[in-house]
């Protein structure tokens, strides 16, 4: 599986799953641009890790919830690299709380970044991919978008919305050689989960049929496959990387 000569954009690639995706794409030979709203240092670290594989890589500041930022980022990458072959909507935020305590602002903020941000990115990238008559769009949803989760009404709604968006985009763009799929991670071992108490991690593991947390590479390797020509006939799918949680 080779992505040599392909140009990829990954939103939210400064850490965690996003960073892992950037590295997996670079390892397969793609040039990688990651965008970040905040945290330039983390994004630049990701760039350095990608360049170790001999590809071009850079970080671009852009808030995916802002249309002008997305338009600027996409235009810059197209002008600089000549094409955009892979787009990964990974940027996301959480503002967890129980339903009765969740504020309207917290609900809107999560939907704006996670769902509207993905829509804005796809709308701009589709113009380029339609002219190319090729492209792979991968949306990073979540297992909670499939099964829901107490205390995450806003996050679960945004990730469920991404699944509906994925299926609609797949139907609209499929005839032009463009695929659109969603990846739904479960509990993945990241810096965030590393801060959780041991008893909470134990409870999480016990709820998973495979009795272990996933690794960032489990998600990233699937994304790299979906971005390749080996996955050319796969579109509109939601693939859970969750150790069986959603079974």
- Domains located in the chain, CATH noted: 7-241 (3.40.50.720)
Annotated catalytic residue: which of 36, 53, 76, 155? 155
Q: Which helix (H) or strand (E) holds 32?
A: strand 31-36
**Is the model's pLDDT at 45 over the cut of 90?**
yes
Cα–Cα separations (whole angstroms), residue 86 to 10, 34, 165, 243: 8, 12, 17, 26
Cα separation, 231 vs 216, whole angstroms: 20
Helices (H) and strands (E) in the chain, counts: 10, 9
Q: Where are the alpha helices (DSSP H) in the chain?
A: 16-27, 40-51, 67-81, 104-111, 117-132, 144-147, 153-173, 191-194, 198-206, 216-226
* Tally of CB atoms within 10 A around 38: 9
What pLDDT digit, counting tens, does each position of 50-108 carry? 999 999 999 999 999 999 999 999 999 999 999 999 999 999 999 999 999 999 999 99
Better pLDDT: 39 or 137: 137
- Residue 76 among the catalytic residues: no
**What confidence score (pLDDT) does residue 47 get?**
98
Cα separation, 14 vs 10, whole angstroms: 10
Mean per-residue pLDDT over the chain, rounded: 96
Cα separation, 240 vs 139, whole angstroms: 12
């Amino acid at each position: 599986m080779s992505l040599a000569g392909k140009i990829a954009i990954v939103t939210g690639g400064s850490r965690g799953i996003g960073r892992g995706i950037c590295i997996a794409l670079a390892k397969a030979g793609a040039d990688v641009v990651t965008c970040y709203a905040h945290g330039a240092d983390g994004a630049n670290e990701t760039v350095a890790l990608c360049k170790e594989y001999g590809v071009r890589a850079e970080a671009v500041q852009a808030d995916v919830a802002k249309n002008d930022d997305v338009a600027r980022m996409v235009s810059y990458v197209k002008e600089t690299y000549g094409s955009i072959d892979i787009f990964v909507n990974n940027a996301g935020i959480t503002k967890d709380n129980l339903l009765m305590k969740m504020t309207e602002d917290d609900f809107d903020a999560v939907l704006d970044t996670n769902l509207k941000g993905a829509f804005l990115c796809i709308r701009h990238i589709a113009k380029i991919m339609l002219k190319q008559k090729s492209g792979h769009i991968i949306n990073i949803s979540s297992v909670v978008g499939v099964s829901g989760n107490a205390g995450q009404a806003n996050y679960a709604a945004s990730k469920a919305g991404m699944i509906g968006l994925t299926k609609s985009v797949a139907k609209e763009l499929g005839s032009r050689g463009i695929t659109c799929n969603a990846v739904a991670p479960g509990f993945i071992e990241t810096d965030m989960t590393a801060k959780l108490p041991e008893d909470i991690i134990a409870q999480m593991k016990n709820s998973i049929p495979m009795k272990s947390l996933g690794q960032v590479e489990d998600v990233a390797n699937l994304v790299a496959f979906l971005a390749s020509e080996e996955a050319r006939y796969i579109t509109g799918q939601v693939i859970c990387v969750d150790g069986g949680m959603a079974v």
